[in-house]
Amino acid sequence: GMRFSVYQISRKGGREKNEDRMGYCYTRESGLFALADGMGGHPEGEMASQLALQTMAALYQRDARPSLEDPIRFLQDAIMAGHHQLLRYASEKGLIDTPRTTMVACIMQGNSAYWAHCGDSRLYFIRGEKLIVRTRDHSYAELQQSLSSSVPNDERYNRNVLFTCLGSPGKPVVDTAGPILLQEGDRVMLCSDGLWGTVEDEDITRHMSTRTISDAVPEVVEVALRQGGPKCDNVTVLAVEWESAENDEVPNISTDTLGEEVFASTIQASVCGNTAHAELSEADELDEAEIERSIREINEAIRRSANAANAGKKS
């Protein structure tokens, strides 16, 4: 089995709605951690992030038995499946424009981590006090940085415009990484641009490396909300500590107790029909207590049932 602790928060900031979604699932041998940021300027951003997350969770439940054969391939396929679900949703609903979302997801399996992203939601991998690696956004700003030696600096276009996402007309660009070998105490943090847009990488790293994740995450989110001001974007963070030391505040998840077929998830099951909007507005402010409660309920409700695996797939 595996041992890790996890802490997640999503805040609405100064926006009318929270279009960010996050969650995780695990089996005895494998864990999936994912975050999506629905894009404004297109319809139903919260639906886009929710659908992308659920699609990935449904496929994970189907394929992680109890581990994935090929994590990188899984991540690519699951992001692409989310993209196709958005296109299908838009055509079923007769929408002129497709809902769009970013996606970042990490799989921990064996003692390795693998991840993938599309858009500008980020993964930070922190070991000790060092930021070992973070994802490169699919935005013109980051592209420009990597090309700056050869391309004249031209500020005419909006540097933060994304050149890819799920739900886009073109095929999404998906970058993958891994396997990277995990060491005890390693921290992986997924976040939406509401965090990194207002907090520098070195500050994020300092917060995430010097406190327990249960202290670090709420603190860095508060900093982002404060620095983002009244117009602050949604701020969402999901952090995982690998083989974390015992700590009363954040219960360690040990997967040893799970059977072969058992699957736990904090990602809400299917949202369809008219209840979607009611449910989604409820999800605007998710706090740790609610999440803990939902995990407990999920764990109690887990049964060896194939029905759940099929719930996320529309026929």
Of 129-133, 213-217, 250-254, the poorest mean pLDDT is in 250-254
Q: Which tens digits make up the pLDDT trace of 29-78?
A: 999 999 999 998 888 999 999 999 999 999 999 999 999 999 999 999 99
Predicted pLDDT at 295:
54
Each as own residue / partner, the long-range contacts of residues 291-295 (CB below 8 Å, 24 or more positions apart, any chain) are 291/8, 291/266, 294/266, 295/264, 295/266
- Give me 50's structure tokens: 């929710």
Distances (CA, A) of 179 to 32, 133, 149, 261, 290: 14, 13, 30, 25, 32
Give the pLDDT confidence of 41-50 residue by residue, as tens digits: 888 999 999 9
Q: Has residue 154 got a pLDDT over 90?
A: no
How many Å apart are CA 229 and CA 76, to the nearest integer?
36
Percent of the chain topping pLDDT 90: 67
At 140, the pLDDT band (50, 70, 90 cuts) reads: confident
Q: With pLDDT > 70 as the criterion, what percentage of the chain qualifies? A: 78
What is the average pLDDT across 1-8?
91
Is pLDDT of 109 > 60? Answer: yes
pLDDT band per the 50, 70, 90 thresholds, residue 158: low
pLDDT score recorded for residue 162 = 84
Strand partners, 175: 117
The amino acid present at 65, given as its one-letter code, is R
- pTM (2 decimals)? 0.83
